[in-house]
Amino acid sequence: MVLITNYSPKLFYTTCEKRTYQKVIEYFQTAMPVAETELHYSNPFELLIAVILSAQCTDKRVNMITPPLFRDFPTPEALAATTPEVVFEYIRSVSYPNNKAKHLVGMAQMLVRDFQSTVPDTLEELIKLPGVGRKTANVIQSVVFNKAAMAVDTHVFRVSHRIGLVPRTCTTPLATEKQLVKYIPEALIPTAHHWLILHGRYVCTARAPKCESCGLNGICKESLKSFKNKEEAVSK
């Protein structure tokens, strides 16, 4: 009988986590070499508007309403000079249009007043803007400034848990974010954010995920659990 005296559960699970991350990253690098936001924009200011509007709303819906908004309010000065009531008429088909109209005008006014009409590039400054929380700030940092910021939305949260990239103890977006940036190489974080979003949007959907056609079958924690359950059912 051989006694293993240097076994460390923490080290074992850390090694397993690293292997899972490595396999998932290798898959996405092959299957999705180009991954980027599906929001339409032509400058940082437009993206900031689009991301604020996208809260609890689909990118498709946001892309439908932003062209006239961008046309009529092309600069922070133009948006700052109007009223929430006017903006509401442009965005009435998105979720929570009243609040978002107020946020957009307030955001533009703060950009003009405090940031020389320029979208800031730090988390601390971005979250000062009305309508901008940690997730929105991380999107701007990642997409516009290519910083290693992981925005955790509903897709990233769901997919990272299902695949097994984060443990059950990560019950909040912030805890999930910290776990993901701990294991994903810094240079890949901006792209990895889109990998997880797009995978969650089109494959690992909230309802009826397409597990059978998923390229992570056999790596994903949920697929392994499902395979084990099927084996046990057959053996009975």
**Which residues are identified as catalytic?**
135, 153
How many angstroms separate the CA atoms of 233 and 225, rounded?
A: 12
Residues in the chain, overall count: 236
Question: 19: which residues sit within 8 A by CB, 6+ positions away?
Answer: none
CA distance readout (Å), 77 to 73, 107, 116, 117, 121: 8, 11, 10, 7, 19
How many angstroms separate the CA atoms of 214 and 223, rounded?
A: 9
Please name the residue ranges forming H helices in the chain: 9-31, 44-53, 59-72, 76-80, 84-91, 97-114, 123-126, 134-143, 154-163, 173-183, 189-202, 221-235
How many angstroms separate the CA atoms of 184 and 205, rounded?
A: 22
